[in-house]
Amino acid sequence: MKRMMIEASGNNGEKSMNVLLVGNNPTEISGLYSSLKSFENPRFNTDTAFHFNNIFRRIIKFRPASILIDDRFNRTKLNRLIKRIHRNPRTRDIPVTLLKSNNEDLGLTADIDNYVLKENLSAENLYFTILNSRRLRRTSIYLYKSYKKSRGLLQKIWLDLRRMYWWIEQI
């Protein structure tokens, strides 16, 4: 349990974490809000966004550790928002979890880090979903950086080998 508390701590070592709730149904968002507020340790600081016009500004200002998005938004706007979150250097490390009403394929991009059915959502499931999404996002960013680094090293080795063979041919 101690390890879970360390994992749940925010960037500055406190036992709190910022979570942004995005949705167009205030009743469902208030249910998520009360589930998150039921935890005392770690403490979840939550903010809500109901309109696409101000979501990205709220993300920059609030700096959430995780974003929970309802699936009842317009699909194209949702895709654009998620791509914008993961392409911006200030927000690319924030995991995005989609709260689904049913188990249908929504045709959304692979940029979503986690999917959760609303039927099975309890306070404990929500807590572990947020933690697992953060771990998955950090792991995927680490693997991407490692891939880019190793790809650059392989290109450098290839260029060195080409230069070496060129020198050998000149002799």
Q: Which domains does the chain have, with CATH numbers?
A: 2-167 (3.40.50.2300)
Q: Which amino acid is at 134?
A: R
96/86 Cα distance (integer angstroms): 9
Q: How many CB atoms lie within 10 A of CB 126?
A: 21
| Percentage with pLDDT > 70 across the chain | 84
Q: What is the pLDDT averaged over residues 81-97?
A: 88
Report the interhelical angle of 26-37 vs 123-170 (nearest 10°).
Answer: 90
> What phi and psi values does residue 110 have, to the nearest 5 degrees?
-85, 10
5 pLDDT exceeds 50? no
Q: What is the pLDDT of residue 105?
A: 67
Q: What is the pLDDT of residues 116-156, one digit of tens each?
A: 888 877 888 888 888 888 888 888 888 888 888 887 777 77
Whether residue 42 is preceded by a cis peptide bond, meaning omega within 30 degrees of 0, is: yes
Q: What is the pLDDT of residues 44-69, one digit of tens each?
A: 888 888 887 788 888 888 899 899 88
Q: What is the pLDDT of residue 146?
A: 82
108 pLDDT exceeds 50? yes
Residue 107 structure tokens: 């045709």
Looking at per-residue pLDDT, the higher value among 14 and 99 belongs to 99
In the block, residue with structure tokens 């998520």:
32
159/155 Cα distance (integer angstroms): 6
